């Protein structure tokens, strides 16, 4: 599938490695930077969601999304593990659960722009969730840059696959293609953030914040990691 990601806030908190090991399935290693594990809360807006080579369908191709993730590897392949993905489009939620085996949830979501600042609000309404909420304002700061190899910013962003688990416990990997991230520093104010509550993870302290204006992405359907 092809899709565009807009106005992303990448908010990251350091979390205990042992806690991440409790939450991530067997077959995946927790990927760490200098011995530290991270959890990310990433609100943004989707557009142009479509099967590659086909036109986007009106009413189905653009909506807010919000994900909660950590960083893992299988063998020598680093990637992303999603604890949850919220979207304001019921069809997209059910399609992604069926096709990509990802833990999507339906949510009521709004995004409002005031100059460079974005006000983002989300409340999970899916019966499979627990009413998780995010209310935050954020904006970019300074100029754009590309993360350099060996830096924490590169570790957190330059990942080109996702991992998922099928109902029969098969570990899946979906390849992702996009240009290197164009990042900016960011500021953010979190009025409410219960996105990791069901994980038993406390997102305490000031997060590491980055902003990205646009990322154009192609995602392939997940395949079993081990034949």
We report the CATH number of the domain holding residue 54 as 2.40.400.10
Tokens of 163: 């991992």
Q: Which residues pair with 116 in a beta bridge?
A: none
Mean pLDDT, to the nearest integer, of 144-151? 98
At residue 177, does pLDDT exceed 70?
yes
* Exposure letters 100-139 (e unless 16+ CB within 10 A, then b): bbbbbbbbebebeeeeeebebbbbbebeebeebbbbbbbb
Is 70 exceeded by the pLDDT of residue 194? yes
Query: What average pLDDT does this structure show over 174-185?
Result: 97
pLDDT at 216 over 80: yes
How many domains does the chain contain in total? 1
104, 97 contact by CB (below 8 A): yes
Contact (CB, 8 A) for 107 and 87: yes
State the average pLDDT for the chain.
93
Q: What is the DSSP string of 156-181?
A: HH---EEEEE-TT--EEEEEEEEPPP
135: containing domain: 2-224
Give the model confidence (pLDDT) of 42-61 as tens digits: 999 999 887 766 666 656 67
Measuring CA to CA, which residue among 187, 185, 181, 186 is closest to residue 214?
181
pTM of the model: 0.94
């Amino acid at each position: 599938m092809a899709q565009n990601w807009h106005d992303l806030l990448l908010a990251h908190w350091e979390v205990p490695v042992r806690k991440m090991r409790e939450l991530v399935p067997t077959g995946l290693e927790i990927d760490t930077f200098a011995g530290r594990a991270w959890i990310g809360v990433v609100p943004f807006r989707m557009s142009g969601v479509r099967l590659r080579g086909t036109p986007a369908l009106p009413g189905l191709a653009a909506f807010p999304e919000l994900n909660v993730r950590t960083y893992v590897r299988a063998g020598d392949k680093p990637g992303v593990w999603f604890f949850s993905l919220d979207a304001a489009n019921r069809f997209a939620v059910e399609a992604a659960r069926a096709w990509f085996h990802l833990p999507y949830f339906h949510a009521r979501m709004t995004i409002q722009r005031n100059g460079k600042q974005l006000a983002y609000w989300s409340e999970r309404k899916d019966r499979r969730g627990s009413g998780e909420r995010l209310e935050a304002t954020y904006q970019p700061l300074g100029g754009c840059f590309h993360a350099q190899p060996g830096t924490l910013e590169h570790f957190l962003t330059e990942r080109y696959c996702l991992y998922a688990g099928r109902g029969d416990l098969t570990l899946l990997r979906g390849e992702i293609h996009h240009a290197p991230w164009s990042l900016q520093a960011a500021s953010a104010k979190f009025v409410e953030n219960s996105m990791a509550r069901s994980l038993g993870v406390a997102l305490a302290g000031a997060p590491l914040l980055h902003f990205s204006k646009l990322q154009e992405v192609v995602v392939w359907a997940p395949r079993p990691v081990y034949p």
